[in-house]
Amino acid sequence: MSDSPAGDPETTRGDAAADISDEDAASAYRPTEIEPYWQDYWREHRTYEVDDDDPRPPYYVLCMYPYPSGNAHMGHVRNYTFGDLLTRYRTMQGDAVLSPMGFDSFGLPAENAAIKTGVHPRPYTDERIEMLRGSITRIGGVYDWRREVRSHDPEYIRWTQWIFLKFLEAGLAYRKAAPVNWCPGCQTVLANEQVVDGACERSGDLVERRDLEQWYFRITDYAQQLLDDLEGLDWPDRVVTQQRNWIGRSEGAQFTMAVVDAEGAGHPDGLEFDVFTTRPDTSFGMTFCVLAPEHPLVPLLTADDRREAVEAFVEQARNTSEIDRLSTDRPVGTRGCATGAFARNPFTGQPVPVYLADYVLATYGTGAVMAVPGEDQRDWDFATAFGIPIVETVTRPEGWEGEAYAADGVHKNSGFLDGMDVPTAKAAAIDWLVEEGAGERKVNFRLRDWLLSRQRFWGCPIPVVYCDTDGIVPVPLDQLPVVAPDDVEFTPTGQSPLLSSPEFLHTTCPTCSGPARRETDTMDTFVDSSWYFLRFCDPWSDEAPFRQDRIERWMPVDQYIGGAEHAVLHLMYARFFTKALADLGVAPKELREPFQRLFTQGMIRLAGTKMSKSKGNLVAPEEIIDTLGADTLRLAHLAVKPPEEDVDWEDVGLEGCARFLQRVWRISVPGGEFDAALRDGAETAEDTALLRATHRLVADVTEAFDRWSYHVAVAKFMAYVNELQRSLRSEAGGHRATVEFATDTLLQLLAPACPHMTAELWSRRHDGGHVHEVPWPAADPAMLVEDSVTMVVQVAGKVRDRIEVAADADEATCVAAALASEKVQAHLDGEPRKVIARPPKLVNLVP
RNA sequence: GUCGGAGUGGCGGAAUUGGCAGACGCGCCAGACUAAGGAUCUGGUGCCCGCAAGGGCGUGGGGGUUCAAGUCCCCCCUCCGACACCA
């Protein structure tokens, strides 16, 4: 290893190394000198590139590809440390590990920068990709860079557009006019998933409602599958629950209500509307019903003497912001309005008044509900405010003092349902509706179709044209990709900047060759990230987005790693894409889920708040890498906390980890402080103990890595090194073969976590060998069994003594040893009344 | 409000099945080396009483099961997260 830079005394020293200047220069640990060497080595030797015909078992590790924001921040470091550890660990275990990296390179930050500076987003983005790639490399992350994917690459755009056209052809992409969420800050529409508490998930601006025609993906076709297939996933409960809530399945009945007058006579125009309910069993208690203010029937059924009030109310609802409409604090009396119309309850045949209320959502169910104040608290409040009668249909338990009663009970005042419990009555009510032809069993989902168009420039163009003759015409596949031009006006106008490029806008219709206009909206960037993990399997494919056999080889992703903030965004969309692509025959039919195991790591906080560029409270990873080195930084991230938990930067113990690595270095570097004292010959008991401890470490670390208890693994390492050091210093220790085995094993186990220093040390110890190419060690089970153990002796459950006994000691021996103890006898007044023995670990004597 | 998750020294946390609570690290204290120490090394460090030996208490609070509870059961408190007019 003559070309290792750490052996070169001419190289400038890092700050951290300055203090060990009294030691031999060649034997000092100088992370800043060895790390770049090994990073170059892994790249040049293609150590972590993996081919599709690799005979080893495939294993796909993936960290969510990052938005290229420039140099890596601590969140990236944490994320990629876990991913990189897994890549190296599984490789040492003999797998062909696919570990690709790419960049989610479309999006608003680059476009906002363009608005500010006038620089086109493309060079801005490319520059930041290079910065981030450099950072990731300096962390020590290793990837198969041949497979790199960038959302804004024309080749990638081509296939994103190709998939969109497939979806369009299959009816999974469609255009419709609907009320949509508009973010005034981002100057674009948003998907439902991107609105949190009435505000834009990105910018925090309150969203406005606009009626616009937009592009949608029919994700609701997959609602049931998206719900059902959550079962088989090895994902955090939190994320699964969030998806389940978001999909929001509810079972019930839908039935038709005829509009009538107060006497029950039908409406001259035969008006009727449907209502959805999860409690059809309570229908006999319906004393009114409620339409959403946006319900199309409102102007038609409103009585003349109520028209003015209704119009005013509808106007008020329109002008109330989403956030206010969702607020539960507003008095119920101001939230509704009588229409003067009536509708017939099919169960009783009686007319009930029709109201409007702003809490009934036009977008859920049928936009109309039946109201049963006796069994629904909201309806109770509304009825009380508007003086509407309340009928109880479920018998309350003894001593019940609440208002609306939502739990199980025996039905009353409910005609043919009387005497039934709630589940029975539900089924009976639905059966009756079906028999009468008045309604049906119905399942509703909260999930809405995915609004994908964005009025922005820096995204994937939607590949369709509008022709006066032929309408919406897809761009032919051989004309893809449709790439955004350079001559655009970025200043936000509320319309896509692409409109400002006449060259882009005006085109000819692929069908009739007449003049046509291009779609100027781009796709949500979540479209790009919904299939990138598939492209990684076959980034070279040029006849399809990917070839099926490559997908079959690598997919699904064995371990996906990223932030939990994508629970209902990326992680839902990617599942939808995978299922849709499989059903369209683009991906293998059997591929139902993209990510088998998901790990969501915690956030990094500083002084209690999230670290972010906008808060200006970043701790730059680069500064730490430039002083203490990447291995120390990685180890500190692993050690600080369980990986899934949020981390306060203050708790990250860099010093302890730096000290630990220095210690490992001194123990294992050839010519280090203990070398001279090593002896050959027979093993002592001390040596055997070290050998046992080493096997124990192999078992413990392997298990900790497998359960992602990295902080525990680091603790085991530290405890072991303390033990090793103690053994080396002791008179009886220092047997050469044992120590060499111990040290080599330590370096192997540490290699996934601290790749640079272990590579350097291994290379020096083994004549240029490579620790990451050595198979992962296995513990000898025989060495894990101790021949003597410390037995705990309790008196009345309190520990009174500890006695060494043989590991195979029987009950009689253990009890005899326990009774022989003076300390035990001092607490024992005569013979014990009861003896519980768990040989050889414990004896409990009860006086 | 509903549903999850959690609560262990000064701090982060460990304890896989009910069986030695506090591994390991940080911090702190003492010592060694030293011209010096914000380097390195060694030892100590849950709380209370005690010179010590030793003893008592101790995993958010209260009750219970058990020879034995951080771990299991019931009630309560606090914190975090998700959902929150979805009919």
Taking each helix axis as running N to C, give the angle between helix A630-640 and helix A31-44, from 0 to 180 degrees, rounded to the nearest 10.
90
Nucleotide nearest residue A798, measured CA to C1': B68
Nucleotide nearest residue A328, measured CA to C1': B85
Nucleotide nearest residue A796, measured CA to C1': B67
User: What token pair was written down for A739?
Assistant: 């120590």
Span CA (A75) to C1' (B74), Å: 42
Asked casually if ipTM beats, i.e. exceeds, 0.95, the reply is: no
Q: What is the pLDDT of residues A80-139, one digit of tens each?
A: 999 999 999 999 999 999 999 999 999 988 888 888 888 889 999 999 999 999 999 999
The residue written with tokens 């028209």 in the block is: A307
Separation between Cα atoms, residue A217 and residue A160, nearest integer Å? 14
Span CA (A255) to C1' (B85), Å: 22
Q: What is the pLDDT of residues A316-373, one digit of tens each?
A: 888 776 667 766 777 788 888 999 999 999 999 999 999 999 888 888 889 999 999 9
Residue A482, pLDDT score: 94
Mean pLDDT over A137-142 rounds to: 95
Q: Please report which helix (H) or strand (E) contains residue A397, including its range.
A: none
Residue A613, pLDDT score: 54
The amino acid sitting at A396 is R
**A463 CB neighbour count, 10 Å cutoff:** 24
Separation between Cα atoms, residue A43 and residue A22, nearest integer Å? 34
Span CA (A359) to C1' (B10), Å: 51
**A738 φ/ψ angles, rounded to the nearest 5 degrees:** -65, -45
- Taking CA atoms, A348 is separated from A88, A284, A414, A432, A784, in Å, by 70, 6, 9, 12, 76
Span CA (A213) to C1' (B12), Å: 53
Residues in chain A: 847
The residue written with tokens 């994917």 in the block is: A149
Q: Nearest-5° angle of CA A296, CA A297, CA A301?
A: 155
Q: What is the pLDDT of residues A487-529, one digit of tens each?
A: 788 776 777 888 888 889 999 999 999 999 999 999 999 999 9
Mean pLDDT over A220-246 rounds to: 88
Q: What is the pLDDT of residues A410-444, one digit of tens each?
A: 999 999 999 999 889 999 999 999 999 999 999 99
Nucleotide nearest residue A823, measured CA to C1': B54
> Are the C-beta atoms of residues A71 and A626 closer than 8 Å to each other?
no
Mean pLDDT over A787-816 rounds to: 82
Span CA (A39) to C1' (B33), Å: 38
Residue A240, pLDDT score: 86
Q: Which residues pair with A176 in a beta bridge?
A: A214
- A18 pLDDT exceeds 60? no
> Are the C-beta atoms of residues A754 and A661 closer than 8 Å to each other?
yes
User: What token pair was written down for A682?
Assistant: 């027979």
Q: Please report which helix (H) or strand (E) contains residue A92, including its range.
A: helix A74-92
Q: First-to-last CA distance in chain A?
A: 69
Span CA (A206) to C1' (B60), Å: 39
Span CA (A58) to C1' (B40), Å: 46
pLDDT band at A687 (very low <50, low <70, confident <90, very high): confident
Question: Which nucleotides on chain B have any atom < 7 A from a protein Cβ?
Answer: 3-5, 11-16, 19-21, 23-27, 37, 39-43, 55-56, 67-69, 81-87
Strands A351-357 and A288-291: parallel
Nucleotide nearest residue A714, measured CA to C1': B24
Measure CA A699 to chain center: 30
**A320 CB neighbour count, 10 Å cutoff:** 17
Nucleotide nearest residue A660, measured CA to C1': B25
**Per-residue buried b or exposed e for A20-40, using 16+ beta carbons within 10 Å of the residue's own CB:** beeeebebbbbbbbbbebbbe
Burial grade of A607 (CB within 10 A; 0-12, 13-18, 19 or more): exposed
Burial grade of A102 (CB within 10 A; 0-12, 13-18, 19 or more): buried
DSSP strand E in A479-591: where? 506-508, 515-518, 522-523, 559-563
- A24 pLDDT exceeds 60? no
Of all residues in chain A, the percent with pLDDT exceeding 90 is 50
Separation between Cα atoms, residue A475 and residue A298, nearest integer Å? 41
